Amino acid sequence: MHVLRVGFNYKTTPLETRETFTFSEDHLSQAVKQLAAEKSILENVIISTCNRTEIYVVADQLHTGRYYVKRFLSEWFEVPIEDFALYLQISENEAATQHLFKVVSGLDSMVLGETQILGQIRDAFLAAQKAQTTGTIFNELFKRALTFAKRAHHETGIGAQAVSISYAAVELAKKIFGDLKKKHVAIVGAGEMGELSAKNLLGAGVGQMTVVNRSLENAEALAKTFGASSATFDHLPSVLKQADIVISSTGSQEPIITKEMIAPVQMKRKGAPLFLVDIAVPRDIEAEAGQAENVFLYDIDDLQHIVDDNLASRQAAAAKIEHMIDGELVLFEEWIQMLGVVPVITALREKGLAIQAATMESIERKMPDLTAREKKVLQKHTKSIVNQMLKEPIKQAKEMSACTKREEALNLFIDIFGIENEVRTILDKQNYKESETLNSNGGSHISFPFLKHLPSK
């Protein structure tokens, strides 16, 4: 049994191709079910965001797994395989698992250490669970990955510092003013940077927002999106009088806010602090405007220094997380290795307890006058005998998971204790999809396919 990751991401795939291979949220359930029906695919989860489409599968064979995922993509999007094969990235087993841990931790994102992907992967996993396309392997793997990502972000603080200009502007405002709930922010310019600033301000809980633009129509359109008020440049002095924070990002070739404009505004504001952030190139705010009393002016170079410092901090945190991932991969491999042993140990315990229960029934038939207390004592001691007898065999079974010929060793163990039927029943209940073959003596042999690709210790 093998884990495969097949997909496209922003690093190697053009936007137009990523757009073509995007699964809509409404059809995701149908997609994972259709993929699950493909031969060789035992489990699957589909992650589809604006920056990536990745399909994770558990397959019984690597080559057939790769083929059927490609065929599924081709049929679902009605695109010949040869038209997208160039952009398709495929990783297998430990590399696929390692990639999932990196993605969910934000190490493979456009913005290093961002947390949005964590929620997106959680939603994709839950959708697959609901559609019943996950099983033993992915239920464990994705839960481990999601839990790890939360811990890694908490322990390293990788996402705590701003690494975009607009976000850095908002974080700087928070450092100066603290709580922004009672602050009035003016967004000057209704373009992309203005919109990003408005989004970050909204996330920071800003109390009041005004969008100022040369075109009132554009100002109103952006303001409507964020529940803000709107104004044109003609009303800028009036807006400055009311605002605590101004973030400017227009396409003007000349300054929008000048020293002459700020001086009378500050007189009317009675010296209340005014925080000006100029993220435009060319600059929207004259440098001399920052010389006025209680006016704090930052331009894009100031913010870029903050971003560069923060990015260096995130890269250091990312290195720590990568080291932490190595430890998680070892733990997951150990868990996988134990998969074949668990049903064997369970079967051994069940058989031992069944013998104990049958023995107790025989004792009670032959000694019907036993008191409740005597029955309880016998029950306790006969179970204790079983547990003590099974302690060493169970220890040996666990050690078999790490040996070179683990499958042959487990089958010998099964034969010695006569628990073949019990093991098969457990495997059937747990949907391990084990196969039955014949050994060299003509007897039956239980196959544990998920053990085959694992290295022995």
Residues involved in catalysis:
50
Residues 6+ apart with CB under 8 A from 105: 113, 118, 148, 149, 152, 153, 158, 321, 325
Residue that has been written with the tokens 């057939």 in this structure: 64
Q: With CA atoms as reference, report the closest residue to 225 among 250, 245, 196, 183.
A: 196
Residues 6+ apart with CB under 8 A from 241: 265, 268, 269
- Rounded CA-CA distance 179/117 in Å is 27
Residues 6+ apart with CB under 8 A from 31: 23, 46, 76
Q: With CA atoms as reference, report the closest residue to 239 among 276, 196, 290.
A: 276
- Rounded CA-CA distance 200/226 in Å is 11
Rg of the chain (C-alpha set): 32
- Rounded CA-CA distance 140/218 in Å is 49
Query: What residue spans of 61-191 are helical by DSSP H?
Result: 62-77, 81-84, 94-104, 116-130, 136-156, 165-177
229-232/274-278 β-pairing: unpaired
CA distances for 147 relative to 47, 121, 154, 282, 297, angstroms: 17, 12, 11, 45, 42
Do the beta carbons of residue 189 and residue 246 sit within 8 Å? no
